[in-house]
Amino acid sequence: MPITRRAALAVLALGVTGCAGSPVVVGDPATAPVPTEPPPPPEPTRSATADAAHVAVAELRALLDALLHSPHWDAQEWTTAAIAQADGHLARLSVEDPLSGAEQEEAFEVQIGAAHQPSDPIVAVNRLNDTVARTVDAAERAAADAETPEQRLLYSSLATSVLGLHNQTIAPIEGDAAPRSLQDTTVEASLPVLLGHVWALIYGLGVGLGKLPKDDPLHAVGAARLTQARELRNQLRAELGAATPEQPAAFDLPTAMDSPASIREAWGLLEVHVLNSYARLVAADSDPRWRIAMRNQVQPVQATGTALTWWPGWLA
């Protein structure tokens, strides 16, 4: 029987189908992964002493604001400058990375109520001095508890600047320097730097005293400081021992020192250099004596009429 064209095409189609793979799916079909939200970043944390320092500065700021609006307080210009300093400190303490000057979101917040205005001038001074002392102590504890040299210097600098608020005749200034990352250093490398600045201070004091009349009140300030500086020089020489560098015969002075005002300015700058040298030692070593020495430089700096910056010890 002859095969028709339709039948031949049907047979060909069956053969092709028989050679094809089975369309039956074996096993469970794969499912597309369900997208998940990334985990939130961990909440920033810090030590309890860092929290306490933040609270102390906020309380100091609240008291300064109360003094600014008090009829029993006259140092309005000084208080405005002190408030600006406190705001600068709070801006750093409220962010996750206080060593960065970049804009950051607030990571830590403290709630402080308004401070009551003092009832009379004596109460005002006493409350301010007590609050300053508590803030210095809180910052010192945070410095002692710090985990890095930068954090230690951050809180030591904070304590030093706040300590300067005991003197209401010299207002703090912002300055150009602020906390930042530091290069590592050591006590062995830093002590000669301090000695060099003490030598320069002794030299500058001698030059100034030789030009000032003895009845100038600044002469008495310089003479007393010269005795202290020489004692410090001897202590540093003893500590350095054989590593004591050779003393230069002369030093470049920061001003012409040709008038009482110029002498006062030069002495202030030389004292700041000594303070900065102590700050380097604070970063190099956790021994509290360097932090104490750094704060002890507040009085010699201010005795020359020189203002402390918001972040003393930091270099631009």
pLDDT per position as a tens digit, 172-226: 999 999 999 999 999 999 999 999 999 999 999 999 999 999 999 999 999 999 9
Q: Is the dihedral of CA 170, 179, 292, 283 positive or negative?
A: negative
Share of the chain above pLDDT 70, in %: 90
Annotation: CATH topology of 48-166: Ferritin (1.20.1260)
Please tell me the predicted confidence (pLDDT) of residue 24: 53
Residue 263: HSE in the Cβ half-sphere, 13 Å Cα cutoff? 20
Please tell me the predicted confidence (pLDDT) of residue 198: 98
Please tell me the predicted confidence (pLDDT) of residue 30: 60
276 vs 286: CA distance, rounded Å? 16
Report residue 90's pLDDT band, with 50, 70 and 90 as the boundaries.
Answer: very high
Share of the chain above pLDDT 90, in %: 84
Across 72-95, average pLDDT: 97
Secondary structure letter of residue 109 according to DSSP: -
Most confident of 39-53, 81-95, 107-121: 81-95
Across 4-20, average pLDDT: 45
Please tell me the predicted confidence (pLDDT) of residue 37: 79
List pLDDT tens digits, range 43-62: 888 999 999 999 999 999 99
Residues, the chain, total? Answer: 316
274 vs 22: which has the higher pLDDT: 274
In this structure, what token pair is assigned to residue 242?
Answer: 């054989």
Across 122-134, average pLDDT: 98
Please tell me the predicted confidence (pLDDT) of residue 222: 98
In this structure, what token pair is assigned to residue 79?
Answer: 């208080």
Please tell me the predicted confidence (pLDDT) of residue 43: 80
Please tell me the predicted confidence (pLDDT) of residue 27: 53
Report residue 9's pLDDT band, with 50, 70 and 90 as the boundaries.
Answer: very low
Asked if 291 and 69 touch (Cβ cutoff 8 Å), the reply is no
Report residue 307's pLDDT band, with 50, 70 and 90 as the boundaries.
Answer: very high
Asked if 54 and 93 touch (Cβ cutoff 8 Å), the reply is yes
42 pLDDT above the threshold of 90: no
163 vs 138: CA distance, rounded Å? 12
Identify the CATH class of 187-284. mainly alpha
| CB-based burial, 168-202: b 16+ in 10 Å, e otherwise | bebbbeebebbbeebeeeeeeebbebbbbbbbbbb
